[in-house]
Chains A and B, each alone.
Chain A
Amino acid sequence: MPLTVPVDDLKRKANQLRRQVLEMSYAHGGHISTCYSYVEILVALYYGGILRHDPQRPEWAERDRFLLSKGHGETLLFAALADMGYFPAEWCDTAYRGGECRLGGHVDHKIPGIETTSGALGHGLGLGCGMAWAAGRAGHGHHHYVLMGDAECSEGSVWEAALFAARHNLGNLVAIVDRNRIGSLDFTENYIALEPFADKWRAFGWEVREVIDGHDFHQLTQALTAKRPADRPLMVIAHTVKGKGVAAFENDPTWHVRAVTADLIDQARAELRGESR
């Protein structure tokens, strides 16, 4: 489907969330480049009219499920869920603090709007398979979107789930890989052969779509919503830039886990202000 929301609105939302993630990360540290990598994916899903959801009813049975399998991208999801009204914005102000904290360093199922606890990688697709299998059997119409990192796809359990989903015709399952080509330590292809990545998923029986620019709302929306076979799971490989939005964070493996320091914060703020103009 074409965009149902003006693209400028989505861009403004993306910028707003990047700025909020910056401030939350400045206070705490964490995985800022991981978050920046999938801002447009998240905004397209939640703000672009793709996900059927209701912040006032996090447990609504017919909601689409979004599973953040790369659970270290929590800062962005927290910011977005608070922005949409799943929980008070003040929760983000106290994230990562206060002794035993409500919003911690990975996504947790107890937080309104978050389906599953994550942080250990390679779990989301299997959880999504179980949910999708059960929903399909029960005749429910909702969909399951599982967002994984590309380096996460080194986990064997991802491919176990891939085998199952294809065999069981889980057409209500959509996996999205944030293909920023960087793991925790290095560029993925420097240490493991993920490529030819799309071909691998095709060989496993999935409908595969590549998004050349994973920060382009038109491309993302097209890939996520274009008509597809009802009996096959969909894999959307979104080619992204890790750290997208602030030059200092972009395409640099050292930013996987790193605190935004005082000498960088003003520059980052200025860049993000510029983007929003």
Chain B
Amino acid sequence: MNAAATDFSTVDMRDAFFLRLYDIARQDPAVVLLSNDFGAPSLDRFRADLAGQFVNAAISEQNMISMAAGMAMAGRKPVVYSIASFLTLRALEQVKVDICVMGAKVMLVGVGCGYAYSVDGPTHHATEDIAIMRALSGMAVWSPSESPVAGAMADLIHDLPGPAYLRFDRGRWPSLGELDLERGLRVLGSGDDVVIVATGIMTHRALAVAEALRQSGTACRVVDLVRLSPPARSELAAALAAAGRVVTIEEQAAPGGLGGLVAEFMADEGLLRPLLRLAIDPAKVFAYGERDRLHRDRGLDLDGAVTRIGAWMGR
């Protein structure tokens, strides 16, 4: 995996991706970028210089997905860009039938994970996308926690084995160190009282929680699960087996999300550990507000998470 020479640590996740994709698309005319009339400053150069490889598919997500599948069947390498909630919900049947059933090599890029579009509210929140997309047969689900990894993911378009969904957060997220994209996860820290599994930018939250717990005498390691589906089985199993307790933390409605993924995984692997799922209470998913506040009210902020984990551990 070529992570490119550009320093992506100081740019927004999607900008890192588009900067790298621009270089790739210049070299490979098969790459086509489709957008549902949705832009980004980093896209302007792509649109100007590679007009023949950019399609504004209009606010027509169903048609955009069908067209991307048709383009893939015609030998193109389509990348479809949209706000994550529209990409995963509005056109879900097209994603299932036209992309997954037919194995079309289409890369879906959704921005705005979880509550990223904070005050814009439930229409723009992607609080179920993990559950939805990982349920689709053949769909690889990627959830980077930092801008450099998001940038490196553009290189997946060279040789996509099948459909892929990339979920990007907003903002600049610095590197958390080396990541082997083949494995799609990394273990941060080495404590063996608790392993905290996180994905996307919640990995940064998990690291802060781990540090707070460490100060109170609980040794933690954090798993940054970048490829949610399929997860690297042996590596994930090893990371979970190394600790006595498992916590998941995510900015998703609880049913079917990361916590569900880990619970299923442990059951399938016969790896039973006490499990605490920190996610959004299904009754409290729909809201408008500043992201920090939404986290705090749902116990997903640093203090809330530490308190809940402490209580769960009987401390």
Q: Which residues A3-23 have CB closer than 8 A to chain B?
A: none
CB-defined contacts of A128 to chain B, threshold 8 Å: 70
Task: Determine if A131 is an interface residue (Cβ-Cβ < 8 Å).
Answer: yes
Contact check, B74 vs A164: say whether CB atoms are below 8 A apart. no
Q: Which residues A108-155 have CB closer than 8 A to chain B?
A: 109, 115-120, 122-123, 125-135, 137-138
A-B contact count (CB 8 A): 92
Q: From DSSP, what is the main secondary structure of chain B's interface residues?
A: helix
Task: Determine if A163 is an interface residue (Cβ-Cβ < 8 Å).
Answer: yes
When C-beta atoms are compared, the residue in chain A nearest to B52 turns out to be A137
When C-beta atoms are compared, the residue in chain B nearest to A155 turns out to be B62
Task: Determine if A81 is an interface residue (Cβ-Cβ < 8 Å).
Answer: no
Q: Contact residues of A with B, CB < 8 Å? A: 109, 115-120, 122-123, 125-135, 137-138, 156-157, 160-161, 163-164
Q: Which of A119, A127, A130 has the most B CB atoms < 10 Å from its CB? A: A130
Task: Determine if B307 is an interface residue (Cβ-Cβ < 8 Å).
Answer: no
Contact check, B70 vs A127: say whether CB atoms are below 8 A apart. yes
Contact check, A130 vs B101: say whether CB atoms are below 8 A apart. no
Contact check, B57 vs A164: say whether CB atoms are below 8 A apart. yes
B interface size (C-beta, 8 A): 28
Contact check, B67 vs A133: say whether CB atoms are below 8 A apart. yes
Contact check, A134 vs B71: say whether CB atoms are below 8 A apart. yes
Contact check, B75 vs A130: say whether CB atoms are below 8 A apart. no
CB-defined contacts of B49 to chain A, threshold 8 Å: none
Contact of B70 among A119, A131, A156 (CB under 8 A): A131
Contact check, B52 vs A123: say whether CB atoms are below 8 A apart. no
CA of A126 to CA of B73, assembled, Å:
13
Task: Determine if B287 is an interface residue (Cβ-Cβ < 8 Å).
Answer: no
CB-defined contacts of B97 to chain A, threshold 8 Å: 117-120, 123
Task: Determine if B9 is an interface residue (Cβ-Cβ < 8 Å).
Answer: no
Contact check, A126 vs B70: say whether CB atoms are below 8 A apart. yes
Query: What are the nearest 9 A-B pairs in CB distance?
Result: A130-B70, A126-B66, A130-B67, A134-B74, A160-B63, A160-B60, A157-B62, A131-B70, A127-B70
CB-defined contacts of A160 to chain B, threshold 8 Å: 58, 60, 62-63
When C-beta atoms are compared, the residue in chain A nearest to B97 turns out to be A120
B94-114 interface code vs A (CB 8 A; 1 in, 0 out): 100110011000000000000
Contact check, B101 vs A129: say whether CB atoms are below 8 A apart. no
B51-73 interface code vs A (CB 8 A; 1 in, 0 out): 01001011010111111111111
Contact check, B75 vs A127: say whether CB atoms are below 8 A apart. no
Contact check, A126 vs B93: say whether CB atoms are below 8 A apart. no
